[in-house]
Amino acid sequence: MDFATGIDLAPCNTLALPGRAAYYLRVTAAAQLADPALAGRRRFVLGGGSNLVLTGDVDRLVLHMAIPGRRLAGEDGEAFYVEAGAGENWHDFVQWTLAEGWPGLENLSLIPGTVGAAPIQNIGAYGLEVGELLHAVTAWDFEKQAFFTVDRSACRFAYRDSLFKQQGWHLDGRMAICSVLFRLPKAWRAHVGYAELARELAAADAAAPTPQAVAAAIVAIRRRKLPDPALTPNAGSFFHNPVLPAAQAAALAADFPGLPCYPQADGRVKLAAGWLIEQAGWKGKALGPVGMYEKQALVLVNHGGATGRDVQRTMAAVQQAVRDKFAVDLQPEPVFL
């Protein structure tokens, strides 16, 4: 098989970082993955590039997942089963499910990226994680040279985490997700527990909100707070919200009144990294061409012309500032390549 060579990846990552792929293949059908020419190479599987820091040229075969397709795969008394190809745009897919009358994913509206990438870091927003509505993932295993399907319970979903990350499969290019099957319960209920969402809906006077009203509210909040990657290159939240033992969180809360604390089911407490970064003086601040966004301090932005090295410098400076003030280590959310 002939691969394209020296392909510019700047348009393929939402931070618009420079870097060239030694070899590149656009994958538009799952069957392409079974070509033996792919198995012998070091690979990286690329989706929408919205959770990626390119640190330079990529000395691998980059497989750009563009498998299309979306359909109602089945239905029973309780749920609709909807399937989508890995290359489908996530937001367009969510809007399509709503238009077809299969609600459930509306809280995840406007998240950048592709359907195939969604399970890897278990995308989540406004009180919902994709793992809650996912039924199964089908992927190609380059080592076993076979397709495999993982059902929801085996995906080991956790906060911004899954089997695919835990096993290092994604970073190694060991497998490529081809399609995702969702289970959308017919007994729909709105997830409006997130305070900002409840406020937005109240302002829109949506007492008993429809899925479309929830989606519109989410889109409005995100447009207000998060930069549009097409105008200001970014990769969404740049750090995980840290989850601490309860005693450590309580000690911090005593020292820093106003510290947002979210108790977790396992007894630990999640903090808001954006708050920590803002308090550490980094909201709207930059080092060279890379800074933290002025309206949401958790979002790292490329103000123009940045390289992966610039991103790493700003990241390290922010981590140090938060460590100095709060003795908390922030872990980056994106994959570094």
Query: Would you say 182 or 275 has its CB closer to ligand EPU?
Result: 275
The three state secondary structure string of 214-280 is HHHHHHHHHHHHCCCCCCCCEEEECECCCEECHHHHHHHHHHCCCCCEEECCCCCEEECHHHHHHHC
Task: Answer yes or no whether residue 241 interacts with ligand EPU by CB under 6 A.
Answer: yes
CB of 200 to ligand EPU, least distance (A): 12
Task: Answer yes or no whether residue 165 interacts with ligand EPU by CB under 6 A.
Answer: no
Which member of 103, 236, 242, 291 binds ligand EPU (CB under 6 A)?
236
Tokens of 244: 């601490």
43 catalytic residue (yes or no)? no
Query: Would you say 83 or 333 has its CB closer to ligand EPU?
Result: 333
Which member of 219, 272, 287, 328 binds ligand EPU (CB under 6 A)?
272
333 catalytic residue (yes or no)? yes
Task: Answer yes or no whether residue 240 interacts with ligand EPU by CB under 6 A.
Answer: yes
Q: Are strands 146-151 and 128-129 parallel, antiparallel or unpaired?
A: unpaired
Task: Answer yes or no whether residue 161 interacts with ligand EPU by CB under 6 A.
Answer: no
Task: Answer yes or no whether residue 109 interacts with ligand EPU by CB under 6 A.
Answer: no
132 catalytic residue (yes or no)? no
Task: Answer yes or no whether residue 125 interacts with ligand EPU by CB under 6 A.
Answer: yes
Cα–Cα distances in angstroms (integers) from residue 292 to residues 179, 234, 266, in the given order = 34, 10, 31
Query: Would you say 60 or 270 has its CB closer to ligand EPU?
Result: 270
Count of positions on this chain that bind ligand EPU (CB under 6 A)? 17
d(CA 210, CA 206): 8
- 45-48's contacts with Cβ under 8 Å and 24+ in sequence apart are 45/170, 45/173, 45/175, 45/176, 45/177, 46/9, 46/12, 47/86, 47/87, 47/113, 47/114, 47/116, 47/117, 48/14, 48/89, 48/90, 48/112, 48/113, 48/114, 48/117
Residue pair 321/314 in contact (Cβ under 8 Å)? The answer is no
Task: Answer yes or no whether residue 104 interacts with ligand EPU by CB under 6 A.
Answer: no
Per-residue contact string for residues 275-314; x = within reach of ligand EPU by CB under 6 A: x--x----x------------xxx----------------
Binding site for ligand EPU (CB under 6 A): 125-126, 196, 236-237, 240-241, 260, 272, 274-275, 278, 283, 296-298, 333
Kindly list the catalytic residues: 160, 237, 333
